[in-house]
Amino acid sequence: MDQESQRQKLLGRLAAFKVPLLFLMVILIGAVGFYFYTSYEPSVNHLIEGVPYYGIFNLFQEYSSPATTIATILRYFNDERVSFRELNNEFPGPRYDKDNLTHFQKSLKFFEAQGYNTFSIKLLDDKYKDDKIGEIKKYIRKDIPVIVIQQKRLDTKESDIERSGWRVVIGVFDDKKEIIVHDASLGNNYVFSYADFEKLFFPGASRMLAVWPKDTLAKNLPKPGNGQPYSERSAVMKNAYTVIGAAGRARAASAAADKFCRDMSDSPTSEEINEYIRLNKISIDYRDEVINDPAFKLMPPLFQFLNKLWRAKSIRNTGEVSKAREIMINELIPANKDLDKTTEGFEFMSDMSTDDESRRSDNIINGQMPYLYKFEGRYKEAIDAYMPYFKLMPDDKVALKKLAELQDRSADPHNIKCMGGRSVIK
């Protein structure tokens, strides 16, 4: 009896624990299930259709990285209220003292003023740094392209003057672990591995921005996308990585020289003059790399023309005005043709009228020759050379400012003081 009694007591105790134990197990299983339900993200293998590309390969190389990126988003949503020229004036390139952070903050206000929702974060913040691509995927799966600010290239050096740039993510593929972007310099449909893409973020360049129309605006816009299949990446793009990198470094060095010159006092020291000339010579060296690269001749005619033109301008800024004029007359004027020819598969989308566009090639050189004349004190010839270019955009603030500078005989071009005065001009 004693053994039976003990057995019954043990069963009773077990029964007493059974209900709360089952209850505890239910809670535990539910908690585990809730955790996996809320934290699980399904794979994303999606390419947004119809996102336009703007950049070097369809003649937008004169536009800043923020301007072409913002244009990409606006035109994807078929919003044409703001022209390319207006965007470039609003978001100018590095030579106008605007950095990427300034432009990024400005872009938020711009999009919101235009009637868009915005979502912006720093992907290196503690909350996001371990799942940067996961944050981007949330919008790609909704057909919302994502702007990111990153290091411009994998081979960008810490010492590079212009380290970061803007690009647009248009696709994410978990299966292949690949990110697809439109990048003004690298081209359309450029593929990064997840690992390489994440390497491009660094403190100061880790922003992402997702933008989509508010309901009121969306009702007045057509369906997103341009309805066009993406052009295949051309042989030019595949061979242009090195030449575009050198061109970017040349542009950055030239922009640094211009800024350094603007910040100089009216009586620069010999050290300041030497630094200004040094920066221009760095730009010239990079331009030489560009022009001597085998891929250079495969690039669009405008890319070839402008790199030669900017090389001539940097040579001018070292005091060798005669040499710069010889380059313009002997190399640039004969090459001033077919400048509206894009890379195969692209068209140039311009804000100019058809008539203005037809004269674009004939007048592009005239925007630069006047400054050679003014360097030499030949004011009338400077103005005469500028007028055909000026007539293309007579209401443009920059064009009006340049005309006023040419008409002001009392003031030398600011570059002259930076190179050490007229006495150094050759």
Residue 141: which CATH number?
A: 3.90.70.10
Write the CA distances from 338 to 112, 332, 350, integer angstroms.
39, 12, 15
Residue 35 banded pLDDT, cuts 50, 70, 90: very low
Number of independent structural domains in the chain: 2
Per-residue pLDDT, 96: 42
Q: Is 216 in the same domain as 316?
A: no
Q: Is 204 in the same domain as 292?
A: no
Q: Is 60 in the same domain as 175?
A: yes
Give me the chain's average pLDDT, please: 81
On whether residue 5 sits in a domain, the answer given is no
Model confidence pLDDT, tens digit, residues 95-139 = 444 455 577 889 999 999 999 999 999 999 989 888 999 999 999
Per-residue pLDDT, 410: 56
Per-residue pLDDT, 133: 93
Model confidence pLDDT, tens digit, residues 310-319 = 899 899 889 8
Q: Is 56 in the same domain as 185?
A: yes
On whether residue 342 sits in a domain, the answer given is yes
Least Cα distance to 233 among 191, 194, 192, 195 occurs for 191
Residues 6+ apart with CB under 8 A from 163: 151, 152, 156, 202, 205
How many helices and strands in the chain, by DSSP H and E? 19, 7
Per-residue pLDDT, 61: 72
Residue 307 sits in a domain whose CATH number is 1.25.40
Domain that holds residue 296: 243-424
Per-residue pLDDT, 181: 96
pLDDT at 190 over 90: yes
Q: Is 189 in the same domain as 292?
A: no
Q: Is 96 in the same domain as 206?
A: yes
Per-residue pLDDT, 337: 74
Write the CA distances from 34 to 41, 99, 231, 287, integer angstroms.
13, 44, 44, 59
Model confidence pLDDT, tens digit, residues 225-262 = 988 888 888 888 888 889 988 998 898 899 889 889 88
On whether residue 275 sits in a domain, the answer given is yes
